[in-house]
Structure 1
Amino acid sequence: MSGIYVLGAGGHGKVVISTIRAMGLEVEAVLDDDRSLWGSYLSGVEVTGPIDSLRGKKNPKAIIAIGINHIREKIATRLDEVEWISAIHPSAVIDGSVKIGPGTAIFAGAVVQPDSTVGNHVIINTGATVDHDCVLEDFVHIAPGCHLAGNVSLRRGAFMGIGSCAVPGTTVGPWTTVGAGGAVIADLPGNAVAVGVPAKEITALPSKRNR
């Protein structure tokens, strides 16, 4: 495999680079739309230009290293010619029955248990756990130390904050955010923010299409 382009020059990008290197693969360059970062280095890799500079390259391989879910979706949609690579740290424990979509990042110490399904461009962050028969739809992000019990469903673009959890059989609606330390004990609707123990909806958000 030729070098992988990492899209996003923030802190999340550092972890993605570390994960790719732990896999024994090479990072070709970092791309970011912030002009002030061009020519700088992220974890020893040069930031060479904007994300759209991938266009015209022959069979580029890349991963989106941006933690904000709707931004990952926008980038993935506009760069349909890219071969999306998943970055899975060797220390992650993933059962052989788990299905993982392209562009997904699973970081050090994460655990994904049998018959779970992980969609495209998902982030399972450091030390997070996903128990049996969970469904994480496209563009989901579960933050470090998040714990999902069995049969939990996270709909498209849902975000689980650091140290949050969900009890068995619960569903978090699309583009909903569960705050840090929140405990999901009942289903949550889409386009909402929920915080606390138990996690309760505090506000409705505009539809993702309006963001």
Structure 2
Amino acid sequence: MKSLPDNIVIVGAGGHAKVVIATVRAAGGEVVAAYDDDRARWGQQILGVPVKGPISAKDIGGAPAIVAVGNNRTRQSIAERLQAQWVSACHPNTTVHPSVSIGPGTVIFAGSVIQPDATIGAHSILNTAVSVDHDCIVGDFVHIGPGARLCGGVTVDEGVLLGVGAKIAPNVEIGPWATAGAGAVCVVDIARETTVVGVPARSVEAKE
């Protein structure tokens, strides 16, 4: 991955933003400002980065930027509203095969492994120590939680949330905006906007 610019702006100033800042710095870049709509945060600093507000296309437009917000819907809304130069950031303590494609605005945190011919969409989060095996397709605005495991040929569609430690069996598809809870083991396809939990994973509606 190319070296990062030293004038990156992030959108969001919560806990997730701290890890984004740490990742950018580890990858050789720098964050110069964090924008947030929460007035209580204005004038504060996170890891030495000044917090400003509100989130404004006028201030952010054209700058190299990352949406540092964990919620998928919120991240999508911000990314589609602002016209920034979206950049991706990958921690150097990762293993990413050269054949992997990574979309703009995506962040990949320390300890993650992405195997050959995987495709990662835009504005997605691969959290700490995620494993994505060969030929997986991860869509836009996805959040894969810490320690989650995707076997080969998995498809994770737009907006999916995979909880910490979730495991997806080979060639399974997780439909758009579905959620797999912490530790869920998905062995069959999951329909769009469905929440599944357990081992093996079953829909919350079915369990009730």
Q: TM-score range by the shorter chain?
A: over 0.9
Q: Deviation string for 1:97-136 (max 9, x for gaps)?
A: 0000000000000000000000000111100100000000
Percent of paired sites with the same residue: 49
Q: Structure 1: 5+ residue runs without aligned partners?
A: 205-211
The root-mean-square deviation of aligned C-alpha atoms, in Å, is: 1.2
Q: Structure 2: 5+ residue runs without aligned partners?
A: none
Tell me the secondary structure at the aligned position of residue 59 of structure 1: coil
CA distance in 2, matches of 1:142, 1:72: 14
Q: 2:78 aligns with which of 75, 80, 88?
A: 75
TM-score (normalised: structure 2)? 0.94
User: How far is the alpha carbon of 1:56 from its aligned partner?
Assistant: 5.0
In the TM superposition, structure 1's runs of 4+ consecutive aligned residues that sit over 2 Å from their partners are 56-59
Aligned residue identity for 1:152: V
CA distance in 1, matches of 2:6, 2:150: 35
TM-score (normalised: structure 1)? 0.93
CA distance in 1, matches of 2:168, 2:65: 31
| Count of aligned positions | 202
User: How far is the alpha carbon of 1:44 from its aligned partner?
Assistant: 1.3
Which residue is 1:171 aligned to? 173
CA distance in 2, matches of 1:56, 1:123: 24
Aligned residue identity for 2:75: R
- Say yes or no: does 1:16 pair with 2:20: yes
Write out aligned runs for 1:57-72 (5 A). Answer: 59-72=62-75
Q: 2:54 aligns with which of 41, 50, 53?
A: 50
Which residue is 1:7 aligned to? 11
Given that residues 6 and 30 in structure 2 are in contact (C-alpha distance below 8 angstroms), is that contact kept between their aligned partners in structure 1? Answer: yes
Write out aligned runs for 1:50-129 (5 A). Answer: 50-52=54-56, 54-56=57-59, 59-79=62-82, 81-129=83-131
Q: Deviation string for 1:155-201 (max 9, x for gaps)?
A: 10001000111000000010001000000000000011100001101
Aligned residue identity for 1:67: G
